[in-house]
């Protein structure tokens, strides 16, 4: 049950139940009062009959007021009654107040009755009392008692409801709120492992569930931030090393040339080749950092255009074949390349291939195979880049596309690289609404799969099988 229905039920029960209790008690005691009233009516009739009987039996001495009062006194005195006996001509024959004064200022006529004496004379008997009942004080006390009991019952029910609902609300609302406060204090102190245990599916339960989810996300975010910061520091150390090493080499070779150590033209060319290689290495490092800064600032510009996949990738791979041949790496491209229309940035796609091929070469590949296939059902172009290099540990394949991540730091340091090349690849492919992932094992080479959407109808489909 939700929080709002519970509060409504609490509010209505606190108002309605005490009132129902009061009216229920009044109804119950009213029934008892009716029974008491019936008993009193029977008693009044009995007293009236006794008075009528006494009047008839003592009629002979009615002229003697004192004597007549003595006869009737045992009947009227217990009830504090006043008796007036008069003839048919309404002349008063006897009035009890002539003997004993009644202290009550207000007397009510309870009954009128007539009796006939033995000689046929009709007598009128009027009975008065200070209330309509024989015992007014008793009746009044009973009424007051009924009212007090009824309202006391309602008050008791009200108190019990207030106490009960207070304990219930304290347990179901205030205690969880207290736990939330404690959790916020724990989070403020840096403890993100404090979990609030509350399993009810009400508003507070949903709030606490959202709070725990927020805490988990914050914990993950901080963990990612710490990992990011750790990788950033490692990157700075790596960049310092990667900048220092080629710069030292360049400096050494330039000094050698300047000092006249180079004795012939062949040695000079070898020195200049090394200087050029180290300069290219520095250039790639700076390019990676520049591209990463644009990705990090969400400023990676894409100049997409509709192109033929065959023409685009043929141009890219022709340049790559020449470059890899100089590095004594064999590039095998399985042709024909499917001719479909794709919406890409050719320069960025060339950067993707350059990074993947350089990564393969850096990790010992001497042969690289590239296969293209079209998935007709998903309308996607699939590209498989397979090498025979050192391979990647299975635990690293899920993380190699993260910024700054490099599997096995010692091996990565030996092979060089910033840990940004594959992150840049993923960002570019993602900007093309595509996917990229790696499949690899240590010592068995690696396979990188790129999937990009086909925008228009397929004009040629390569039906060859996909690589294993």
Q: Where are the domains of the chain?
A: 3-151, 203-294, 302-453
- Number of neighbouring beta carbons within 10 Å of residue 139: 17
Where residue 198 falls (left for φ over 0; alpha for ψ -120 to 50; beta otherwise) is beta
Q: What is the mean pLDDT of the chain?
A: 80
Crossing angle of the two packed helices 203-258 and 3-57, in degrees rounded to 10:
160
Task: Measure the CA angle with vertex 397, ends 394 and 401; round to 5°.
Answer: 165
pLDDT at 400 exceeding the cut of 70: yes
pLDDT at 450 exceeding the cut of 90: yes
Angstrom distance (rounded) from CA 388 to CA 450: 18
Q: Which CATH number fits domain 302-453: 3.40.50.300, 3.90.1150.10, 3.10.180.10, 3.30.565.10?
A: 3.30.565.10
Angstrom distance (rounded) from CA 4 to CA 169: 12
pLDDT at 409 exceeding the cut of 50: no
The answer to whether the CB of 403 falls within 8 A of the CB of 419 is yes
pLDDT score recorded for residue 58:
86
Q: What is the pLDDT of residues 70-122, one digit of tens each?
A: 888 888 888 778 888 888 888 888 888 888 776 655 467 777 888 888 888 88
What's the topology of domain 203-294?
Helix Hairpins (1.10.287)
Looking at the chain, the whole-number percentage of residues with pLDDT higher than 90 is: 12
pLDDT score recorded for residue 410:
40
Angstrom distance (rounded) from CA 48 to CA 6: 61
Q: What is the pLDDT of residues 420-449, one digit of tens each?
A: 788 889 989 999 999 999 999 888 899 999
Q: Do domains 203-294 and 302-453 have the same CATH topology?
A: no
Q: What is the pLDDT of residues 243-293, one digit of tens each?
A: 777 788 888 888 888 887 777 888 888 888 888 878 877 887 787 777 777
Query: Where do we find the tokens 């685009």?
Result: 312
Per DSSP bridges, beta strands 82-87 and 122-129 are antiparallel
Strands (DSSP E) found in 241-399: 305-308, 330-333, 341-344, 367-375, 380-387
pTM for the structure as a whole: 0.48
- Number of neighbouring beta carbons within 10 Å of residue 189: 9
Angstrom distance (rounded) from CA 465 to CA 373: 8
pLDDT band at 139 (very low <50, low <70, confident <90, very high): low
* Overall average pLDDT of the 167-177 stretch: 78
**Structure tokens given for 202:** 């009400």
The answer to whether the CB of 330 falls within 8 A of the CB of 324 is yes
Question: Which DSSP category does 465 fall into?
Answer: P
- What b-and-e string marks burial along 45-71, b requiring 16 or more CB atoms within 10 Å of the CB? eebbeebbebbeebbeebeeeeebbeb
**Residue 313: is it exposed, middle or buried by C-beta count within 10 angstroms (0-12/13-18/19+)?**
buried
* Overall average pLDDT of the 327-351 stretch: 89
Report CA torsion sign: 69, 73, 77, 82: negative
């Amino acid at each position: 049950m939700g929080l709002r229905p519970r509060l409504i039920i609490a509010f209505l029960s606190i108002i309605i139940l005490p009132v129902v209790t009061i009216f229920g008690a009044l109804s119950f005691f009213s029934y008892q009062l009716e029974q008491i009233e019936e008993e009193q009516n029977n008693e009044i009739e009995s007293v009236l009959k006794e008075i009528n009987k006494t009047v008839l039996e003592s009629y002979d001495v009615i002229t003697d007021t004192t004597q007549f009062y003595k006869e009737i006194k045992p009947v009227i005195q217990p009830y504090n009654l006043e008796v007036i006996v008069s003839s048919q001509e309404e002349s008063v024959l006897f009035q009890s107040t002539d003997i004993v004064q009644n202290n009550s200022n207000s007397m009510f006529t309870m009954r009128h009755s007539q009796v006939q004496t033995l000689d046929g004379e009709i007598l009128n008997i009027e009975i008065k009392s200070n209330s309509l009942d024989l015992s007014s004080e008793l009746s009044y006390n009973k009424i007051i008692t009924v009212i007090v009991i009824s309202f006391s019952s309602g008050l008791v029910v009200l108190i019990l409801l207030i106490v009960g609902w207070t304990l219930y609300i304290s347990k179901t609302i205030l205690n969880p709120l207290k736990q939330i406060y404690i959790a916020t204090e724990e989070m403020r102190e840096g403890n993100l492992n404090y979990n609030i245990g509350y399993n009810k599916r009400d508003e507070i339960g949903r709030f606490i569930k959202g709070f725990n989810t927020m805490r988990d996300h914050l914990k993950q975010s901080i963990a990612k931030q710490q990992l990011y910061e750790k990788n950033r520091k490692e990157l700075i150390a790596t960049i310092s090393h990667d900048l220092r090493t080629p710069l030292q080499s360049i400096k050494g070779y330039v000094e050698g040339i300047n000092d006249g150590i180079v004795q012939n033209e062949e040695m000079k060319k070898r020195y200049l080749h090394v200087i050029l290689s180290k300069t290219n290495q520095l250039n790639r490092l700076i390019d990676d950092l520049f591209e990463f800064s644009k990705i990090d600032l969400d400023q990676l510009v894409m100049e997409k255009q509709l192109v033929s996949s065959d023409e685009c990738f043929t141009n890219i791979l022709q340049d790559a074949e020449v470059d890899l041949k100089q590095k004594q790496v064999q590039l095998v491209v399985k042709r024909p390349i499917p001719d479909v229309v794709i919406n890409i940035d050719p320069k960025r796609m060339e950067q993707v291939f350059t990074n993947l091929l350089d990564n393969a070469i850096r990790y010992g590949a001497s042969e690289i195979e590239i296969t293209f296939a079209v998935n007709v059902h998903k309308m996607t172009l699939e590209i498989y880049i397979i090498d025979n290099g050192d391979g990647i540990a299975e635990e690293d394949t899920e993380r190699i596309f993260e910024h700054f991540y490099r599997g096995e730091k010692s091996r990565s340091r030996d092979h060089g690289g910033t840990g940004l090349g594959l992150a840049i690849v993923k960002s570019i492919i993602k900007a093309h609404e595509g996917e990229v992932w790696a499949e690899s094992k240590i010592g068995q080479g690696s396979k990188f799969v790129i999937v990009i959407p086909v925008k228009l109808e397929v004009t040629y489909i390569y039906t060859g099988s996909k690589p294993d």
